[in-house]
């Protein structure tokens, strides 16, 4: 088994993955291309067999299991997509897998793991983050003497993920001779970026590799800044596919070599992109799957006249997450605001607020108030959706004008995280 990674392993993986994974479409996106005056293509790994590229790495690692190893079975830890790749591979290779996922893994992903692996998998929900599930899975693998199938820090996993890059080059450059200027790739632990980036640096060295992390989980960004792997203290797990506290030592080394730029995208922007992909294109992208497109605004001017490929890395989105996605998107766009308003407890105070503070298109989406009999004032929690972000300042002005006592609930306050 390979101890180190080299780009040749990607070509080898490609041969072994034929007939197992889909060659996913590379689609020209007219709307984005027009918007950025560039040629933008989407690599649709949301249409992969397990709705993410993760099958590539998992199968490529598991195909080399010896018969003794297959008999003992494997263990993995995953935020949900690697688990599906491992579950699929367990069934295909007839070996058993114990699959650890954090307790907050979206139900859709858990159900998919169960249905892909059937009797070949046992699911263990453990801890609040991927890293907690990971630590437990490693210890169980050691105790049970099973192979641990790492989600990113393994040469064969990296090589399998790298086949996304080999496919892109074949689909675009080999067929039409088109030079690819940029590939924009999401980063969690760094497996995809390591494999794909190394392959491009080998076969198409002029292509710039742009990595993208969620702003609330910048583990690779922090590692690159520190010059070594670091563990994040704070982690926003919203972009569940790409929210890891610690990247791998191998993926760190490779990403450091291949990355031309690393972009951090706010979670709200990811939500805005997910909604637009759904509404405009009928594409169901999960948060990590939308990261690469969400990053384009930050490098917009650079892209003019260039050929750009964005990796839509996964489409396993639980329908129950959409209300939160919509909410986060509205807040990000400056269209949704929350206030604590101190109403005087005399008749007519609310009526005055409605008539004189609210503008004609300001919409109350939340109102919580309990009358307290022995007080002059009573606080109300109010959520307001605006038609335009520019309507916010005039709203505050009108509230000031009628002498309302209020507090804007800021995005970084603990009450805010309670609201969305
Ligand atoms: C859909 C999706 N995109 C991106 C990533 C990040 O991948 P990596 O850990 O290879 O950097 C993951 C990881 O699970 C994922 O599931």
pLDDT in tens, 160-203: 999 999 999 999 988 788 999 999 999 999 999 999 999 999 99
* Mean pLDDT, range 42-62, rounded to an integer: 97
The atom of ligand 1 lying closest to the CA of 251 is 11
Q: Which pLDDT value is given to residue 280?
A: 95
- Span 327-355, pLDDT tens digits: 999 999 999 999 999 888 778 888 888 99
> Which of 43, 54, 269, 336 is an active site residue?
54
Distance, CA 195 to ligand 1 centroid (Å)? 12
What mean pLDDT comes out for the span 348-368? 92
Neighbour count for residue 411 (Cβ, 10 Å): 15
Q: Residue whose CA is closest, atom 1 of ligand 1?
A: 314
Report the predicted TM-score, pTM, of the whole model to 2 decimal places.
Answer: 0.92
Confidence of residue 1 (pLDDT cuts 50, 70, 90): low
* Best probe residue, ligand 1, of 158, 314, 316, 321 (max atoms within 8 Å of C-beta): 314
Report the relative pairing of strands 39-44 and 121-125 from DSSP bridges: unpaired
Please tell me the least confidently modeled range out of 94-103, 126-135, 408-417: 408-417
The pLDDT assigned to 259 comes to 98
**Percent share of the chain, pLDDT over 70:** 98
pLDDT of residue 185: 98
Look-up of token digits 């641990």: 148
Examine the residue annotation and report whether 304 is marked as an active-site residue of this protein: no
- Give percent above pLDDT 90 in the chain: 84
Q: How far is the CA of 1 from the centre of ligand 1 (A)?
A: 23
The answer on pLDDT for 418 being more than 70 is yes
Q: pLDDT tier at 130 (50, 70, 90 boundaries)?
A: confident
Q: Is the CB of 84 under 6 A from ligand 1?
A: no
- pLDDT given at position 411: 80
Catalytic residue among 194, 198, 276, 313: 313
The chain-wide mean pLDDT, for the chain, equals 94
* pLDDT higher than threshold 80 for residue 371: no
For ligand 1, mutation pick of 156, 190, 242 (most atoms within 8 Å of CB):
242
* pLDDT tens digits along 384-412: 999 999 999 999 999 999 988 899 998 87
Give ∠ CA 194-12-173 in degrees, rounded to 5.
70
Flag the least confident range among 48-52, 62-66, 128-132, 305-309: 128-132
The rounded Å distance from CA 303 to ligand 1 centre is 24
Mapping DSSP onto H, E and C, the string for the chain reads CCCCCCCHHHHHHHHHHECCECCCCEEECHHHHHHHCCEEEEEEHHHCCCCECHHHHHHHHHCCCCHHHHHHCEEEECCCHHHHHHHHHHHHHCCCEEEEECCCCCHHHHHHHHHHHHHHEEEEECCCCHHHHHHHHHHHHHHHCCEEECCCCCHHHHHHHHHHHHHHHHHHHHHHCCCCCEEEEECCCCHHHHHHHHHHHHHCCCCEEEEEEECCCCHHHHHHHHCCCCCCCCCCCCCHHHCCCCCCHHHHHHHHHHCCEEEEECHHHHHHHHHHHHHHHCCCCCHHHHHHHHCHHHHHHHHCCCEEEEEECECCCCHHHHHHHHHHHHHHCCCEEEEEEEEECCCCHHHHHHHHHCCCCCEEEEEEECCCCCCCEEEEEEEEECCCHHHHHHHHHHHHHCCCEEEECCCCCHHHHHHC
Question: How close is the Cα of 187 to the center of ligand 1, in Å?
Answer: 6
Q: Is 78 a catalytic residue?
A: no
For a pocket test of ligand 1, which of 46, 52, 77, 253 has the largest count of ligand atoms closer than 8 A to its C-beta?
Answer: 52
Local confidence band at 374 (pLDDT 50, 70, 90 cut-offs): low
d(CA 241, ligand 1 centre) in Å: 5
Residue 200 CA to ligand 1 center (angstroms) comes to 18
Q: Is 186 exposed, middle or buried (0-12, 13-18, 19+ CB in 10 A)?
A: buried
Question: Nearest residue CA, atom 6 of ligand 1?
Answer: 188
Least confident of 14-18, 61-65, 201-205, 368-372: 368-372
Q: Roughly how many angstroms between the first and final C-alpha of the chain, as a whole number?
A: 46
Residue 28, pLDDT score: 97
């Amino acid at each position: 088994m390979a101890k180190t990674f080299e780009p040749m392993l990607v070509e080898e993986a490609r041969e072994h993955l034929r007939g197992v994974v889909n060659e996913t479409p590379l689609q020209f996106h007219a709307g984005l291309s027009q918007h950025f005056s560039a040629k933008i293509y989407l690599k649709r790994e949301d249409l992969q067999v397990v709705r993410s590229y993760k099958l590539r790495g998992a199968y490529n690692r598991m195909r080399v299991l010896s018969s003794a190893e297959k008999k003992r079975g494997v263990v993995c830890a995953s935020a949900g997509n690697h688990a599906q790749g491992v579950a699929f591979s367990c069934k295909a290779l007839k070996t058993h897998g114990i699959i650890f996922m954090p307790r907050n893994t979206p139900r859709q992903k858990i159900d998919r793991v169960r249905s892909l692996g059937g009797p070949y998998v046992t699911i263990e929900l453990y801890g609040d983050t991927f890293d907690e599930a990971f630590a437990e899975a490693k210890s169980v693998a050691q105790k049970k003497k099973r192979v641990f199938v790492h989600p990113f820090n393994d040469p064969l996993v990296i090589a399998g993920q790298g086949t996304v890059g080999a496919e892109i080059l074949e689909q675009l450059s080999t067929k039409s001779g088109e030079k690819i200027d940029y590939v924009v790739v999401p980063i969690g632990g760094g497996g995809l970026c390591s494999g794909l980036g190394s392959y491009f640096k080998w076969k198409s060295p002029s292509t710039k590799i742009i990595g993208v992390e969620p702003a609330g989980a910048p583990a690779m960004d922090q590692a690159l800044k520190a010059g070594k792997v670091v563990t994040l203290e704070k982690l926003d797990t919203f972009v569940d596919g790409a929210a890891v506290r610690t990247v791998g030592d191998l993926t760190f080394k490779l990403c450091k070599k291949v990355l031309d730029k690393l972009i951090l995208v706010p979670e709200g922007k990811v939500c805005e992109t997910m909604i637009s992909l759904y509404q405009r294109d009928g594409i169901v992208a999960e948060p990590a799957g939308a990261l690469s497109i969400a990053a384009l605004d930050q490098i917009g001017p650079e892209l003019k006249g260039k050929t750009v490929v964005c990796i839509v890395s996964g489409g396993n989105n639980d329908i129950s997450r959409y209300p939160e996605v919509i909410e986060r998107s509205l807040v990000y766009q400056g269209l949704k605001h929350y206030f604590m308003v101190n109403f005087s407890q005399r008749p007519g105070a609310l009526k005055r607020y409605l008539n004189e503070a609210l503008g004609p298109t300001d919409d109350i989406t939340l109102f919580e108030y309990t009358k307290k009999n022995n007080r002059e004032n009573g606080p109300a929690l109010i959520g307001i959706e605006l038609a335009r972000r520019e309507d916010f300042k005039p709203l505050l002005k009108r509230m000031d004008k009628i002498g309302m006592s209020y507090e804007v609930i800021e995005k970084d306050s603990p009450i805010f995280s309670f609201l969305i």
